Structure 1
C-alpha cells in the first residue's frame, strides 16, 4: 500500500459527493512544503492560497489566488533574499474514462475520483512566478539590468563584424583590398 505523505495530503480536496456549486478553500504552506519537491530554485518561503472550486456535472474549474514570500538565491552574488509574488491561475479538471493531461491548464480525471490533491499544482504555479534571472533587489536599477552593456570595444572585432554584415558577393573585392593594403599598394 502506498504511504500517505502528511505534508502533501494537507492540500487534498474531497470532491466525491460535492454538489454542483462553488466552494472556497484556503491553504497555507512553508519550508516543509517546498522540501517535498525536488528543485533548486526556491530555497524556501511561505504562501497562502485561496482556492475557488466551481463544480458541475462535466468538469471542475479551480481558480488559485496565490500570495507568496519566497527565499531565493541571487544569481549574481549568491546571497539569499526574499521576494513577494502574487498570482492567479485557473486549472480545469474534466471528467473522462482515463486520467491524462490535455494541456498545462487542463487535465482529465476518471469519473468517481474521490479527491483532488492541489500540492503539485500550487507548487508549479508558484514556481512559474520566479524570474529566470533572480537578482537581489540591490542589483536592480530603475533603468533595468545593466548586464549586456559593452564597456570596451576591440577595434579589430568591430571591423570583422562590419565585414560580415556586408553582402557576401563583395567578399572577393574585400579580400583583394586587404591583400593590396598589406603589400603597401593602393
Structure 2
C-alpha cells in the first residue's frame, strides 16, 4: 500500500526529548485504506514522539467522531471516538513489524510512517455494536423498530389462572422442578 506522506515523520535531526505532531483525519484517510464503513470522519490526532538515544516512543491520542450506520435501524449517527495507542520503534538489521507494539527499522533509517498504526487504532476503538443513541434511550421512531417490535417473540405464560383446573399428574411433575 502506498504511504501517505503527511504521516511520515522524519526523526533525524530532532533533539532528544519530546516532540508533538498534530493531524486532522477525515474520510479521505480511510478511503486510502479502502475502508467504507464511515459516512463521515472528523478526528483530531495528537502524536507524541519521545526520542531517546537508542529508540523512539510514540503515543497516539485521538478523539472526534465517525458517522456510521446503526446496526439495528440502519440510520446514520455520529459515534464519538477517543483512544490512545503506544508503540516503540527500535533499530535492527531488517524491517520487522510483526509485533503491534514494536516496530524495528533498519539501521540508517531516517523516518517512520505511522499511518497503519493510526488506522488500526481508530478502527479498533469503535464499539462492536453500533447502536443509535435514540434507540438506546427509546426516543427513536422508525418503521424498522416498529416491525422488530411486531415480530418479537411473545412470552407464553404457562401458569394457570385462578379457578382454572389443572391435570393433577402435571402438578406432581411440577413439584420435581421445585424440589432440590
Contact 1:68 1:126 in 2 (8 A): no
Match of 2:95 in 1: 99
Pick the aligned partner of 1:137 from 123, 133, 139.
Answer: 133
8 Å CA contact retained: 2:55, 2:91: yes
Match of 2:172 in 1: none
User: Which of these residues, 115, 119, 124, is aligned with residue 119 of structure 1?
Assistant: 115
Contact 1:102 1:108 in 2 (8 A): no
Q: Does the C-alpha gap of structure 1 residues 75 and 54 become closer, same or farther in structure 2, counting only changes over 3 Å?
A: same
Is 2:70 the counterpart of 1:74?
A: yes
Matched, 1:88 2:91: no
Q: Aligned partners of 2:154, 2:125: CA distance in 1, in Å? A: 32
Using the size of structure 2 for normalisation, the TM-score is 0.71
Secondary structure in structure 2 of the residue aligned to 1:94: strand
CA distance in 1 between partners of 2:100 and 2:157 (Å): 47
Runs of 4+, deviation exceeding 3 Å: none
Task: Identify which of 41, 44, 48 aligns with 1:45.
Answer: 41
- Maintained 8 Å contact 2:58/2:86: yes
C-alpha distance in 2, partners of 1:41/1:94? Answer: 34
The residue aligned with 2:8 is 12
The CA deviation at 1:72 is 0.8
Query: Aligned to 2:39, what secondary structure does the other structure show?
Result: strand
RMSD after superposition: 2.4
- 2:75 & 2:114 partners in 1: Cα distance? 31
Residue-pair matches, total: 145
Could you tell me how far apart the structure 1 residues matched to 2:5 and 2:31 are?
Answer: 14
Give 1:102 shift: 4.3
Q: Distance in 1 between matches of 2:112 and 2:90?
A: 12
Q: TM-score, normalised by structure 1?
A: 0.69
Gaps of 5+ in 2: 139-151, 159-180
Q: Which runs of 5+ in 1 are unaligned?
A: 143-148, 156-186
